[in-house]
C-alpha cells in the first residue's frame, strides 16, 4: 500500500468520523445531553414537547412489563378493547421489541434520547456515503453530511415525533436508487431497508417504498428483466409484512380514523421550504399555512446557498444534467409524485389556497391514512440537496465544493441557532421528577382495590386521558384511556355500546374503576348505584365511580 493511498484512507476515515460526530451534535444541540440518561423521563412528561412523548412513555411502560402476546407487538393493558398494537403509538418497535426481551438484564425507562442521537449519527453517516457518489473529497463529504444533519426538516421532529427523526432511511433509499446496482445485492439491500423501516414508522415506510418502486422499475427496464424481479418483490413484501405483524399493525381490522384533520388539511404550502417560522433567524417569516405541521419543511439559509451555487454551476452549460435526469427519470417521477401528494388537492402559496379539487370518497379515505402529507416533501428536498452537491463538485471540483459546503454549513448553523436554543430550553427546564396530577389519597387506595380503570365514554385522546393513563401506568392497572395514532372505529363503537349497556343495567365490571366523562353517563350511574356500597364523587377534578368502595 502506497503512502498516498494510506493518507487517502486516513482522510476518508476522519471525514466519516466527522460526519457521525456532526449527526450526534445535531441531536444534542437540539435537546441537550440530558436525553442520554435512560432513567430520566421528566423531559418527556413535563409537557412542552406535546402529548406524543407522554404517549410513548406510557406505551413503553405498559408494554415492557406485560406478558408476551401473539403477535409480540400487542399491548392490551394500554387500550384494552380499543387498540393495543405498539405500531400505532410510534414507539419504534425496532427498539421496543428487543429491549422488552432484554428486560431482565437492563432497565430502560426511556430509549428515545439515545435513539435521537443514533438517528443523527446515521443521518450524518448515510449522507456521507450518499455524497461519496458525487465526490471523494473528505471536506466535501464531512461538511455536506453535517449540512444534512443540521436540517430543520429532521430536527423539527425531535420536538415530539421521535420515530420520524429517522430521515436516514430516506437517504439510504436515495443512495440505493442512485448507485450502480450490484446484482442481487441491490434486492437484499432494499429488503433489509424496507423491513427495518416497517419497524420504525408508516410515513417513512411509504416514502421508502416509493423509492424502491422507482428503482425496481428502472432496473427492470434497463436489463429487460422485469419479470425476474418477482423474487425481490416477494421477499420485500414478506419481510415488510412480517415486520408489520410483529409490531401489531394488523391488530386493527375495521375502518381506521386518524386523529385531527384529514388529508388536504396539512398540505405543503409552496413557500414552506423558504419560511423560517421559528427556525431561521436570517430570513423573514413568510405568510404560509399555519397548520400543526408548519415549520417542518424549512431548508435553512445554508441549504439555499448550496442550491444557489448549484444553479450557477448549471447555468454555465457545461454539465450534462439532462442526461442525468433522463437516467433517473423514474426516480424523478416518484419524487414529483410525492411532492404532489404533499401539496394535496388543495394547493396553497403564501397561505392562500389556489384550488380545491374534489377527491373521490374512496381516494379521500385512503389518503386520510397518511394525512400529514407535508412530510412527503422530504425525499425531494434531500434529493435536491444531493443534486446540488453533485453539480457543484462536477463543475468546480471536490475541494472547492468542500469549501463551499463548509461555508454553507456555517451559515446554516447561524440561521437555525435560535430554533435549536428554543428546543434545548424545553428539555433543560423540565423537572427530572414529573409532577403527578392525581395526588388525592383516594388514588393510592383505589390502585390497591381495582385492576383496571375505564374512561366512559371511551375515546381516543379523550378528556383527561393523560392523567388517567399515567395513574394506571404508575400503579399497574389496565386502561382504555389512551392516545393512539389510529383506532378501529368499529371497535370503538362496540366498546361504547357494551359499557353503556352494562352501566344501564347496573352490571359493574368486576375490578373496574370508572371515570365518567359526560353528564349523560353520570346521570345513568347516579340513578342506579347504591350509595351504601358504591362511591360516586369528584376527585382531583375527575368524576369517579368506584363500585363496592364502601365494602371492606
- pLDDT tens column, 36-78: 999 999 999 887 778 899 999 999 999 999 999 989 999 999 9
Residue 278: what pLDDT?
A: 87
> Are the C-beta atoms of 547 and 512 separated by less than 8 Å?
yes
* Residue 66: how many other CB atoms lie within 10 Å: 17
Query: pLDDT tens-digit profile of 475-516?
Result: 999 999 999 888 888 888 999 999 999 999 999 999 999 999
Confidence of residue 415 (pLDDT cuts 50, 70, 90): very high
Confidence of residue 293 (pLDDT cuts 50, 70, 90): confident
Residue 530: what pLDDT?
A: 95
Burial 233-246 (b: 16+ CB within 10 A, else e): eebbeebbeebbbb
Residue 291: what pLDDT?
A: 86
Mean pLDDT of 141-168: 96
Residue 2: what pLDDT?
A: 67
Residue 1: what pLDDT?
A: 53
Determine the length of the chain: 552
With a pLDDT cut of 70, the percent of the chain lying above it is: 98
Closest CA to 281 of 296, 298, 294: 298
- The DSSP bridge pattern shows strands 512-516 and 542-546 to be antiparallel
Mean pLDDT of 408-434: 92
Residue 183: what pLDDT?
A: 64
The Cα–Cα gap between 420 and 443 comes to: 39
Query: Does the pLDDT value for residue 276 go beyond 70?
Result: yes
Mean pLDDT of 388-393: 97
Mean pLDDT of 297-316: 96
Mean pLDDT of 32-38: 95
Query: Does the pLDDT value for residue 131 go beyond 80?
Result: yes
3-state secondary structure of 393: helix
Residue 311: what pLDDT?
A: 96
Mean pLDDT of 230-237: 94
- 351 prior amide bond cis, ω within 30: no
Angle at 511 between CA 505 and CA 516, to 5 degrees: 60
30: which 3 cell numbers? 437540539
Residue 279: what pLDDT?
A: 92
Query: Does the pLDDT value for residue 373 go beyond 90?
Result: yes
- The DSSP bridge pattern shows strands 452-456 and 478-479 to be parallel
**Is the pTM here over 0.85, yes or no?**
yes
Amino acid at each position: 500500500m502506497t503512502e498516498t493511498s494510506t493518507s487517502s484512507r486516513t482522510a476518508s476515515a476522519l471525514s466519516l468520523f466527522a460526519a457521525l460526530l456532526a449527526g450526534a451534535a445535531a441531536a444534542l444541540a437540539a435537546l441537550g445531553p440530558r436525553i442520554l440518561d435512560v432513567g430520566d423521563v421528566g423531559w418527556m412528561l413535563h409537557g412542552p414537547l406535546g402529548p406524543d412523548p407522554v404517549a410513548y412513555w406510557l406505551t413503553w411502560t405498559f408494554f415492557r412489563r406485560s406478558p408476551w402476546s401473539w403477535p409480540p407487538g400487542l399491548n392490551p393493558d394500554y387500550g384494552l378493547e380499543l387498540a393495543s398494537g405498539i405500531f400505532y403509538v410510534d414507539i419504534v418497535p425496532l427498539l421496543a421489541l428487543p429491549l422488552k426481551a432484554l428486560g431482565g438484564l437492563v432497565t430502560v425507562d426511556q430509549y428515545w434520547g439515545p435513539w435521537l442521537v443514533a438517528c443523527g449519527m446515521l443521518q450524518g453517516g448515510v449522507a456521507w456515503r450518499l455524497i461519496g457518489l458525487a465526490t471523494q473529497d473528505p471536506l466535501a463529504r464531512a461538511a455536506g453530511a453535517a449540512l444534512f444533519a443540521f436540517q430543520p426538516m429532521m430536527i423539527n421532529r425531535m420536538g415530539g415525533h421521535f420515530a420520524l427523526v429517522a430521515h436516514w432511511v430516506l437517504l439510504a433509499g436515495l443512495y440505493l436508487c442512485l448507485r450502480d446496482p450490484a446484482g442481487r445485492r441491490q434486492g437484499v439491500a432494499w429488503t433489509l431497508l424496507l423491513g427495518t423501516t416497517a419497524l420504525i414508522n408508516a410515513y417513512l415506510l411509504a416514502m421508502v417504498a416509493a423509492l424502491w418502486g422507482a428503482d425496481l422499475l428502472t432496473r427492470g427496464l434497463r436489463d429487460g428483466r422485469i419479470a425476474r424481479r418477482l423474487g425481490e418483490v416477494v421477499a420485500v413484501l414478506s419481510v415488510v409484512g412480517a415486520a408489520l405483524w410483529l409490531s401489531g399493525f394488523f391488530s386493527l381490522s375495521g375502518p381506521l380514523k386518524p386523529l385531527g384533520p384529514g388529508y388536504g388539511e396539512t398540505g405543503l404550502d409552496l413557500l414552506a421550504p423558504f419560511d423560517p417560522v421559528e427556525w431561521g433567524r436570517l430570513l423573514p417569516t413568510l405568510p404560509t399555512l399555519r397548520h400543526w405541521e408548519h415549520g417542518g419543511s424549512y431548508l435553512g439559509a445554508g441549504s439555499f446557498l448550496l442550491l444557489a451555487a448549484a444553479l450557477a454551476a448549471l447555468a454555465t452549460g457545461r454539465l450534462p444534467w439532462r442526461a442525468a435526469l433522463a437516467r433517473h427519470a423514474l426516480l424523478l417521477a416518484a419524487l414529483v409524485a410525492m411532492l404532489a401528494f404533499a401539496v394535496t388537492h388543495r394547493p396553497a402559496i403564501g397561505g392562500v389556497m389556489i384550488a380545491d379539487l374534489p377527491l373521490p370518497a374512496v381516494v379521500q379515505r385512503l389518503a386520510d391514512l397518511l394525512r400529514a402529507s407535508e412530510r412527503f416533501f422530504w425525499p425531494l428536498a434531500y434529493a435536491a440537496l444531493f443534486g446540488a452537491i453533485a453539480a457543484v463538485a462536477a463543475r468546480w471540483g471536490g475541494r472547492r465544493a468542500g469549501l463551499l459546503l463548509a461555508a454553507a454549513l456555517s451559515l446554516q448553523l447561524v440561521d437555525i441557532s435560535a430554533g435549536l436554543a428554543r428546543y434545548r430550553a424545553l428539555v433543560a427546564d423540565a423537572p427530572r421528577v414529573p409532577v403527578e396530577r392525581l395526588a388525592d389519597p383516594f388514588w393510592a387506595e383505589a390502585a390497591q382495590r381495582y385492576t383496571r380503570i375505564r374512561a366512559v365514554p371511551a375515546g381516543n385522546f379523550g378528556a383527561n386521558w393523560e392523567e388517567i393513563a399515567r395513574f394506571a401506568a404508575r400503579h399497574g392497572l389496565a386502561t382504555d384511556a389512551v392516545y393512539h395514532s389510529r383506532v378501529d372505529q368499529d371497535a370503538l363503537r362496540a366498546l361504547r355500546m357494551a359499557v353503556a349497556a352494562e352501566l344501564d343495567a347496573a352490571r359493574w365490571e368486576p375490578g373496574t374503576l370508572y371515570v365518567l366523562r359526560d353528564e349523560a353517563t353520570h346521570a345513568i350511574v347516579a340513578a342506579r348505584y347504591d350509595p351504601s356500597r358504591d362511591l360516586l364523587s369528584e376527585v382531583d377534578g375527575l368524576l369517579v365511580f368506584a363500585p363496592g368502595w364502601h365494602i371492606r
